[in-house]
Amino acid sequence: MVGSTPEAQHLDCDVVVVGLGPVGLMMSILLGRRGYRVIGFDRWPTPYPLPRAVTYDHEIARILGDLGIDSDNDPAVEFHDDHYLWINKDDEVLLEVDWISQAKDGWRNRYWFDQPALEDRFRLIVSTLPNVTLYQGFEAVSLEQDGSSVTVGYREVEQDGNATKIKEGGKSGTFSARYCLGADGANSFVRKSVGQELVDMNFYYDWLVVDTTPKVYPDYKTAHYQMCITERPTTVVPGGPGNRRWEFMLLPGEDAREMEKPEVIWELLKPFGLDPAVDVLQRGVVWRFQAKYLEKWNHGRVMLAGDAAHLMPPFAGEGMCAGLRDVFNLAWRLDLLMQNKATESLLDQWSDERREHAKWYINFSVGLANVICVLDEAEAAERDAQMIAEHAEQSKLGPVSPHEAVLGEGTWLVGDELAGKPSVQSRVAYKGRTGRFDDVVARGWVLLTSAAAAGQTLADGQLALLDSLGGKVVTIGLPGSGAEVIDVNGTTSTWMADNGVHHILVRPDFYVAFTAADESGLRNAFDTVMSAAGLSAGASV
């Protein structure tokens, strides 16, 4: 349900979501599908019509698959069978990253998308959920909480150029919820209301971000590449179907407003073959790339996610990805709490997991920037020589594989080197259906046991606990193994055999909670993880 104005002074709901970008919209969907009443609002009267993020990785493709959005067959999404190249001023390759291959979760390493179109898809899904109501053009003006609820005050606003102002005669009031999510961006009102400030890593670079729709889609040496040149570091990437993005680093002394002028932008685009007579300039704006994070993300009944909790340079393409991971990790926890099946420690663990994971990507992105943003000729020459030599060695093995981060300590078995990471996913055959495991077998809590260990299982109390969480237990094996789930392409079976494990517990956010080699290890690991989450199986072993 999409509303235009809150009609009552007090609207009680389960969760109020402040900020309706992709992060807030996804949270509204995830909770709405679980049957919770959600109210979301955003201070902008209409959704933002221009792209901000343009890319996401295989993990986000899997998350979107949970919403029914197939990144391999969606009009708002595309992929390119090209590797990602870093090149210098002499067109020498410094680095080649594998953005072609399929990851072990069954999705491609990298996708490109149109953000407004994707957000429209999210809103369409929301329209099918009568328990979710979204309000555009309402800003939060107060936030209070006690031991059982959060109360948010709002007022109606209208657009005033690039800002908003109070709407004369507009509505105002308060409503209460069991929990509140602040997904309201870098200048988050919710974050300020709980008295928190981002930790500043003192990283600042201004870049001109240019989005275009070329009449004829340009064909370059590769679909996506990074120009590591002292004259002006430049990023050239797709911008979703039919669109192209350029990012130009501002040089010392350049004025942001001057650089945003169309005539300046077209001059920068000229070497790439774009023509203002036929091609469309959507937007050119200077963004300040920053690196910041929040130390604690949950404060009583208030949680912070997305840019409200972390900011990172875009060089790894992980900013929006981190925000979507935030809420995909949080939704199942709130579900358990609102069912009175877990303790508030589950939110502390969420904060710890997501903070450290986001910090890894922030540091990774800053590290990339320190290589890309070099303007000194001598330093660039030294960088190029080293990277060319490393690339020559790496080329013997193939392109560099994409990065992989590990969660901070939380609701998984710390010390298990296979846990705290996304689970692998096979194409499987199950009960007459064939497809990705998520689609044809189960999502949520899933315990996979290899066919070779089919007789090993959890104790009765543990099975009852897993069942109360909506969990599923299945055996998986190669054709001819007798397993109920047939591992068609062998991805999971091979992964288990290579790592010497027979059991994997996968969480609702697709992360591995633990692995085990035998029944004793399985039962001990299950109790450890569930107890840490405030859950108990009773007399389980």
Helix, strand, coil % over all residues of the chain, rounded to 5: 30, 30, 40
**Residue 11 pLDDT > 70:** no
Sequential DSSP letters for 338-366:
HTT-S-THHHHHHHHHHHHHHHHHHHHHH
Strands, sheet with 280-293, edge to edge from the N-terminal-most edge strand: 93-97, 84-87, 225-227, 234-238, 244-249, 199-213, 280-293, 310-311
Which residue(s) pair with 244 in the sheet? 212, 238
The rounded percent of the chain whose pLDDT value lies above 90 is: 92
Q: What is the pLDDT of residues 463-492, one digit of tens each?
A: 999 999 999 999 999 999 999 999 999 999
**Residue 5 pLDDT > 50:** no
* Cα–Cα distance measured from residue 309 to residue 296, given in angstroms and rounded to the nearest whole number: 9
Q: For the whole model, what pTM was predicted?
A: 0.95
**Residue 51 pLDDT > 80:** yes
Burial 386-417 (b: 16+ CB within 10 A, else e): ebeeebeeeeeeebbebeebbbbebbbbeebe
According to DSSP, residue 369 is labeled H
- Split at pLDDT 50, 70, 90, the class of 161 is confident
**Residue 131 pLDDT > 50:** yes
Q: Do β-strands 244-249 and 199-213 pair in parallel, antiparallel, or remain unpaired?
A: antiparallel
Enclosing H/E stretch for 192: helix 189-193
pLDDT at 42: 96
**Residue 9 pLDDT > 60:** no
pLDDT at 2: 45
Helices and strands counted in the chain (H then E): 13, 28
**Residue 538 pLDDT > 60:** no
CB 112 within 8 A of CB 54: yes
Burial of 179 (C-beta count, 10 Å sphere; 0-12/13-18/19+): buried
**Residue 354 pLDDT > 50:** yes
pLDDT at 4: 40
- Split at pLDDT 50, 70, 90, the class of 10 is very low
pLDDT at 175: 87
Q: What is the pLDDT of residues 443-460, one digit of tens each?
A: 999 999 999 999 999 999
**Residue 540 pLDDT > 60:** no
pLDDT at 536: 63
Q: What is the pLDDT of residues 236-269, one digit of tens each?
A: 999 999 999 999 999 999 999 999 999 999 999 9
3-state secondary structure of 267: helix
Q: What is the pLDDT of residues 53-81, one digit of tens each?
A: 999 999 999 999 999 999 999 999 999 99
